[in-house]
Amino acid sequence: MSAAPSLPAIRACFEGAIPAMMATCAEDGTPNVAYISQVYYVDERHVALSFQFFNKTRQNILVNPHGAVLVMDPVTAAFYRLQMRYLRTETEGPLFEGMKAQLAGIASYSGMAGVFRLLGSDVYEVETIERLEGECLPAPPRPGLLAGVRRAAERQAACGATDELLQAALAALNDHLDIRHAMVLMLDAAAQRLYTVASCGYATSGVGSEIEMGHGVIGMAARERTPVRISHMTNAAAYSHAVRCSLRESQPDLALETEIPFPGLAEPHSQLAVPILSTGRLLGVLFVESAQDMRFGFEDEDALVAIAGHLGAALNLLHTAAEPAAPEEPAESSAPSASGAPLAVRHYLANNSVFVGDSYLIKGVAGAILGKLLREHTRQGRSDFTNRELRLDPALRLPDLSDNLEARLVLLQRRLAENCTNIRIEKTGRGRFRLRLERPIALEEIPS
Amino acid sequence: MNHNPVFPVFPVFPVFPVFPARPSSPHLFMTAQAPLLSPEHIAMIDKGVSAIVASRNAANRPSLMRAVGAGISADGTEITVYLSRSQSRQLLQDVAATGHVAVVFSEPLSHRTVQVKAKAAQLRAADDSDLPLLRRYLASMEREVACVGFDAVFVRAMLACRLEDTVAIRFAPSQAFDQTPGPRAGSALPAS
């Protein structure tokens, strides 16, 4: 007989692809068997199960703490049976928040936010793990994730500008981790929203699109500062759908949220959102997805967390380095000559939305920046600007220093490149950039 | 007591108590003959869906395993589930010793779920006469599990069991519960 497997060795079974089953026993000796929504790996000796409803399983373990859980490897079809003992229920803290985010991520995509919620994390000590006899399928060889993380670290470390860094991070995911669809979203702390600043693998970049904090997989990862991973999208959606039907019958008045429009794949089967943190602060979210089921396992999550760590540190460094810029007035270069018919640009001061001709371009902080640049160009003929003056301009009402101004500029630069090639922003040095106009601008500022 | 492991015939199982709910609606009172399982539940189990079997030992420690086959009589009063002996030694020992069994049936795609319980389950070795049912179950599971993204090769590995290693557990369900995920999960059947 082979040695009993360890809990870390069977982490693949807790991915949720195949629901786990749990048997418990009531005080009077009546057994009960039920599906478990979530088996969460805690550490080498513990797992946590989601407590969502006060059901028979829950009643039983409170009087008889012994449970038997059947799990299955979603690739090899190997069965494992775990004998476990209920220890405690956690209703706050990192474990609870991690499970809650994962569960809420599942729920929000199907309009179940607020209904399909975690009441507690039931922590169990795993006493024995038994690998059952059976016909197993071969496990395909695993890609070398650590080598991919190394290459991503090297490429990010070589970057000297925010835009370059973001592109390097996404290219590394594509080239070394075989991840085809990815985005970086940055936090707008004042608005409590995340805005897409870079993406790869989509028909349209989606740069500038926004997601509310706490909304969907990305918003949850940001709010709870924990990775959120869904490995089997159809399964998760179907699970929530079953609850919705049941709820609709029992509580017809309950207003369910509409499905969240997501600026990514139409039918993602695997999604993983990892918070980008640096110096204890949330900077944004690194998000990857795939049309394939179970594309991102716990090892991919480990890799993405490491890469997001590098990305966060580098974003922070570049942002800080660009801030104290240039005490001296930057050398004024001759403004390039713009020719042709003037381009009508409207700047609505109420929300800083900017329209070029009839097309919406940008709003918010990036819109305010563009408004300032165009105004000063029109009135004073200036083309060269610094991050520092943007930061110091009270009229812009920029968020505090922790807000990544470099990322705002990257966003603006991208939106212009994608929608209005007559207006360009080019970096000219650390903390400096230039406004380039191919056509003269007729700027109209519309007061609030 | 019904705990005799070699109980020779199915007992006349206790009728589920009259529902105290909704006393103002006498027409909804359950009669003693009300079947536990609705025709929809019977059809679902008959079709061949995921089935997990549980029992417990004398110390109330639970045991469980996935069934490799399942069948139900047309009137829903008799259910047979099949287990691989080599995968279910403790469970089979517990069923033999206590007669207690709980089985949860679930349709993978819809997650429609029902649990049945009995206190006088009987064991026997499966034989050739069980083969048509086992084959039908496997074919149904290949279709059902394909709906949630697993191919037939996976399902055949999951349910692989030689006939000589297969044990049948037969029981008359005495309790049934709706266990479709959601706040109503766990409510006793027949529903009022």
Statement: the pTM of the whole predicted model exceeds 0.90: no
The answer to whether residue A28 neighbours chain B at the CB level (below 8 Å) is: no
Mean pLDDT of A61-66: 97
Mean pLDDT of A49-69: 93
pLDDT for the residue numbered B6:
31
Q: Which chain A positions have a beta carbon within 8 Å of B186's beta carbon?
A: 53, 55-56
Residue A332 lies in a domain: no
Q: pLDDT class for A98, splitting at 50, 70, 90? A: confident
User: Which domain, by its residues, includes A158?
Assistant: 145-256+263-322
Residue B102 lies in a domain: yes
User: Are residues A363 and A283 part of one domain?
Assistant: no
Mean pLDDT of A419-442: 91
Residue B43 lies in a domain: yes
Tell me the nearest-neighbour CA distance from B80 into chain A, angstroms. Answer: 17
Residue B55 lies in a domain: yes
Domain count, chain B: 1
Name the one residue in this structure whose structure tokens are 């919406």: A360
Residue A83 lies in a domain: yes
pLDDT for the residue numbered B141:
97
Q: For residue B112, give the nearest of B192, B45, B34, B173 by alpha carbon.
A: B45
Strands A270-278 and A281-290: antiparallel
CATH number at residue B178: 2.30.110.10
Q: Length of chain A, please?
A: 448
Tell me what ipTM this predicted complex has: 0.83
Residue B96 lies in a domain: yes
Residue B18 lies in a domain: no
Instruction: Report d(CA A346, CA A360) in Å as an integer.
Output: 9
Residue A337 lies in a domain: no
User: Which domain, by its residues, includes B101?
Assistant: 33-182
User: Are residues A281 and A151 part of one domain?
Assistant: yes
User: Are residues A232 and A181 part of one domain?
Assistant: yes
The shortest CB-CB distance from B149 to any of A83, A234, A242 is to A234
Compute the half-sphere exposure of residue A284: CA atoms within 13 Å on the CB side of its CA.
29
Which residues in chain A (54-83) have CB-CB distances under 8 A to chain B? Answer: 55-56, 64, 66-68, 70, 72, 74, 76-77, 79, 81, 83
Kindly report the average pLDDT of chain A as a whole number.
84
Tokens encoding A134: 């059976």
User: Are residues A282 and A192 part of one domain?
Assistant: yes
Residue A327 lies in a domain: no
Residue B160 lies in a domain: yes
Tell me the nearest-neighbour CA distance from B121 into chain A, angstroms. Answer: 13
User: Are residues A115 and A46 part of one domain?
Assistant: yes
User: Are residues A251 and A209 part of one domain?
Assistant: yes
User: Are residues A317 and A420 part of one domain?
Assistant: no
Domain count, chain A: 3
Mean pLDDT of A97-107: 67
User: Are residues A318 and A240 part of one domain?
Assistant: yes
pLDDT for the residue numbered B33:
58
pLDDT for the residue numbered B110:
82
CATH number at residue A23: 2.30.110.10
Name the one residue in this structure whose structure tokens are 């030992």: B57
Residue B24 lies in a domain: no
Quick one: which H or E segment has residue A91?
none
Q: For residue B92, give the nearest of B56, B116, B119 by alpha carbon.
A: B56
pLDDT for the residue numbered A373:
95
Q: For residue B184, give the nearest of A32, A235, A245 by alpha carbon.
A: A245
Q: pLDDT class for A265, splitting at 50, 70, 90? A: confident
User: Are residues A296 and A194 part of one domain?
Assistant: yes
The answer to whether residue A31 neighbours chain B at the CB level (below 8 Å) is: yes
Which residues in chain B (77-96) have CB-CB distances under 8 A to chain A? Answer: 84, 86-87
pLDDT for the residue numbered A45:
97
Comparison of pLDDT for A388 and A169, the residue scoring more: A169
pLDDT for the residue numbered A263:
57
Residue where a domain terminates, one of A89, A105, A131: A131
Q: What percent of chain A has pLDDT over 90?
A: 52
User: Are residues A419 and A308 part of one domain?
Assistant: no
- Per DSSP, the three-state class of A306 is helix
pLDDT for the residue numbered A337:
66
> pLDDT digit string (tens) for A314-358?
999 998 887 655 555 555 555 556 788 899 999 999 888 899 988
Beta strands in chain B (DSSP E): 50-56, 62-66, 69-72, 79-84, 101-106, 113-118, 122-125, 166-171, 175-178, 187-189
The shortest CB-CB distance from A250 to any of B100, B156, B184 is to B184
CA distances in angstroms from A373 to A202, A301, B80, B90, listed in the order given: 30, 41, 77, 76
> pLDDT digit string (tens) for A208-225?
888 888 877 888 889 888
Q: Any idea what the Cα angle at residue A434 is, between residues A429 and A439, rounded to 5°?
A: 155
The answer to whether residue A232 neighbours chain B at the CB level (below 8 Å) is: yes
User: Are residues A304 and A245 part of one domain?
Assistant: yes
Type of residue found at B106: S
Residue B7 lies in a domain: no
pLDDT at A267 over 90: no
The answer to whether residue A119 neighbours chain B at the CB level (below 8 Å) is: no
The answer to whether residue B67 neighbours chain A at the CB level (below 8 Å) is: no
- Print pLDDT tens along chain B (192 aa): 333 333 333 333 333 333 333 334 444 444 455 789 999 999 999 999 999 999 999 999 999 999 999 999 999 999 999 999 999 999 999 999 999 999 999 998 888 999 999 999 999 999 999 999 999 999 999 999 998 888 999 999 999 999 999 999 999 999 999 988 766 777 888 865
pLDDT for the residue numbered A326:
56
pLDDT for the residue numbered B153:
95
CA nearest to A78 within chain B: B158
Type of residue found at A289: E
Instruction: Report d(CA B146, CA A252) in Å as an integer.
Output: 32
CA nearest to A28 within chain B: B60
Question: Which segment of A9-18, A79-88, B1-10, B172-181 scores lowest on mean pLDDT?
Answer: B1-10
Q: Which chain A positions have a beta carbon within 8 Å of B103's beta carbon?
A: 33
Burial A102-119 (b: 16+ CB within 10 A, else e): bbbbbbbbbbbbebbebe
CATH number at residue A304: 3.30.450.40
pLDDT for the residue numbered A400:
73
Q: Which chain A positions have a beta carbon within 8 Å of B105's beta carbon?
A: none
According to the per-residue pLDDT averaged within each range, which of A47-56, A70-79, A217-226, A288-297 is highest? A70-79
User: Are residues A370 and A276 part of one domain?
Assistant: no
pLDDT for the residue numbered A176:
95
